[in-house]
Amino acid sequence: MNEKLIEIFEFLKNEKCKNVVAFDLTENGDEKFFVIASCQTAEENKKIADDLTNNFDLVDEKDGYHKGEWIILPFNKILVHLFTSSSRAKYNLDRLYKSKEIDIAKFLKKKKSK
């Protein structure tokens, strides 16, 4: 499993983001992973986006940062989507990619128990 993906996932969980999920889109030839997480407010999303930018290598600009309701952060082959809860429900990317979901939390539990 992609090590950076796991690090970003753990970071978001530690930052108390809600409903952090990851999706493996490499089968589609995109060679990308999506990570989706939620915060209550746009301000919280912006703070998390800033913290991610400071801790990981951001490849391009933060898309959607100005409003903060849906921020997209590109980290090479990993795209992080930070939503407010209401925007996440509205766009419902989880439903669109459900069949590609990766159970990273389960993977991490196994890793820690060893």
Contact 55, 29 (CB under 8 A): no
Query: CA nearest 41: which of 58, 21, 17?
Result: 17
pTM of the model: 0.88
CATH 3.30.460.10 fits 3-106, yes or no: yes
Say which residue, 114 or 16, is predicted with more confidence.
Answer: 16
Q: Over the stretch 48-61, which tens digit does the pLDDT of each residue have?
A: 999 999 999 777 88
What tokens were used for 24? 């493996």
What tokens were used for 21? 């999920």
Q: How far apart are CA 95 and CA 85, in angstroms?
A: 15
Domain boundaries, the chain: 3-106
Please, is 71 exposed, middle or buried when counting C-beta atoms within 10 Å of its C-beta (0-12, 13-18, 19+)? buried
